[in-house]
């Protein structure tokens, strides 16, 4: 599954889902994951919104899914919690089947194997509900094995239900990314994945490591294990879009086109979050589609959206990506 053309990833799942469920997502300790249990039809509809607006890739709604969270906030037992994670992946499959059926009826062709269903594997910090997914502070006191053991439960549930790859995403610290990549190489040699870091500025991970160093460390780790073909891309998500180009230049700016590390990017809209007033500044945001050519030039192979990006944003990103892919074919 080496990526030859640039692919369109979906947008902010919790953001688009508000179209179907209203503004009841933010502030919930389970975030949008609660609706996997309480409103599965809204999950399917949200996936379909992105597919109908041109997404090549949809991520399962499992970012905030954990056995501990479901046991505490939905009062499920361990096996029921794992089954809910599996079932959440199945909802993405239902959406894909409905979309393919719509395409068939409309006589629209879809590339073989697409759309891809990729499991959202959010960071260890996301289940702590203390904001540490945006600081990576747990890297200083939680052993790597505890982190990978925690991830393994959700990863296995997603793999059992059937996904094309894993999105190891919003990772705030180098240690967690390296530990996960080592575990995937050792224990799941056939599984493809990407790794997307959470960055706090134009050069640094949330926890303070340099993005270029962390991404290169992952790429070198894969090279040592002869496993670079397992990794679809390395990159960033849940970041301000203005940080992306300098981050990518720091990694790929000096590399020739053949040496570029394949990149994935799905930033936030550019709005900023205020604890008292919520999201602010939409009217000042540069449309994400405007950035597509510069990100693709720097090696981006997957481009989509994260917080505050809707299906319409993905439609515009998709149009820009199709223009880019056409240009690349001509050249």
| Pairing status of strand 231-237 against strand 263-266 | parallel
Contact by Cβ (8 Å): 17, 42: yes
Q: Within 13 Å and on the Cβ side, how many CA atoms surround 276?
A: 0
Whether residue 306 is annotated as binding a ligand: the answer is yes
SS3 278: strand
Please state, in angstroms and rounded to a whole number, the distance separating the CA atoms of residues 72 and 36.
15
DSSP 179-244: HHHHHHHHH-TT--EEEEE-BSSSSBBTTS-BHHHHHHHHHHHHHHTT-GGGEEEEEEESS-HHHH
* Contact between 134 and 198 (Cβ < 8 Å): yes
Nearest alpha-carbon partner for 172 in 220, 127, 126, 222: 126
Contacts of 89 (CB under 8 A, 6+ apart): 60, 62, 117, 119, 157, 158, 161, 162, 163
| Structure tokens belonging to residue 147 | 């982190």
Distance of CA 330 to the CA centre of its chain: 30
Cβ neighbors of 239 (< 8 A, separation 6 or more) are: 198, 199, 247, 267, 268, 306
Please list the residues that pair with 278 across neighbouring strands: 274
Output the CA torsion sign for 99, 102, 108, 109: positive
> Is 238 labelled as part of a ligand binding site?
yes
Structure tokens at 215: 């991404």
Say whether 249 sits in a helix, a strand or coil. helix
Beta strand extents in the chain (DSSP E only): 7-8, 57-59, 116-121, 165-171, 193-197, 231-237, 263-266, 272-274, 278-280, 300-303
Q: Any known ligand binding at 285?
A: no
Which residues line the annotated binding site?
A: 238, 306-307
Which residues line the annotated binding site for Zn(2+)?
A: 238, 306-307
């Amino acid at each position: 599954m080496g990526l030859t053309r640039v692919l369109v990833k979906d947008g902010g799942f919790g953001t688009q889902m508000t179209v179907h469920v209203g503004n009841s997502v933010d502030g919930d300790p389970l975030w949008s994951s609660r609706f996997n249990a309480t409103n599965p039809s809204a999950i399917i509809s949200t996936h379909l919104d992105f597919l109908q607006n041109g997404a090549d890739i949809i991520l399962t709604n499992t970012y905030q899914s954990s056995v501990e969270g479901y046991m505490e906030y939905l009062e499920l037992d361990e096996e029921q919690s794992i089954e809910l994670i599996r079932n959440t992946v199945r909802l993405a499959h239902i959406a894909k089947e409905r979309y393919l059926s719509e395409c068939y009826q409309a006589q629209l062709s879809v590339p073989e194997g697409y759309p891809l269903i990729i499991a959202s594997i959010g960071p260890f910090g996301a289940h702590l509900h203390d904001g540490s997914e945006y600081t990576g502070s747990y890297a200083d006191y939680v052993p790597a094995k505890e982190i990978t053991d925690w991830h393994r439960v959700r990863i296995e549930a997603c793999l059992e239900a059937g996904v094309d790859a894993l999105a190891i995403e919003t990772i705030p610290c180098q240690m967690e990314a390296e530990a996960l990549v080592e575990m995937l190489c050792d224990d799941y040699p056939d599984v493809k994945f990407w790794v997307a870091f959470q960055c706090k500025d134009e050069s640094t991970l949330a926890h303070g490591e340099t993005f270029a160093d962390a991404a290169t460390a992952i790429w070198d780790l894969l090279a040592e294990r002869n496993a670079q073909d397992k990794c679809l891309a390395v990159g960033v998500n849940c970041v301000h879009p203005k940080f992306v180009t300098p981050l990518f230049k720091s990694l790929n700016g000096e590399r020739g086109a053949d040496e570029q590390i394949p990149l994935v990017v799905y930033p936030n809209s550019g709005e900023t979050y205020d604890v008292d007033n919520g999201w602010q500044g939409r009217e000042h945001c540069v449309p994400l589609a405007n950035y597509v050519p510069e990100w693709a030039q720097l090696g981006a192979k997957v481009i989509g959206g994260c917080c505050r990006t809707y299906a319409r944003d993905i439609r515009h990103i998709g149009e820009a990506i199709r223009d880019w892919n056409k240009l690349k074919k001509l050249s």
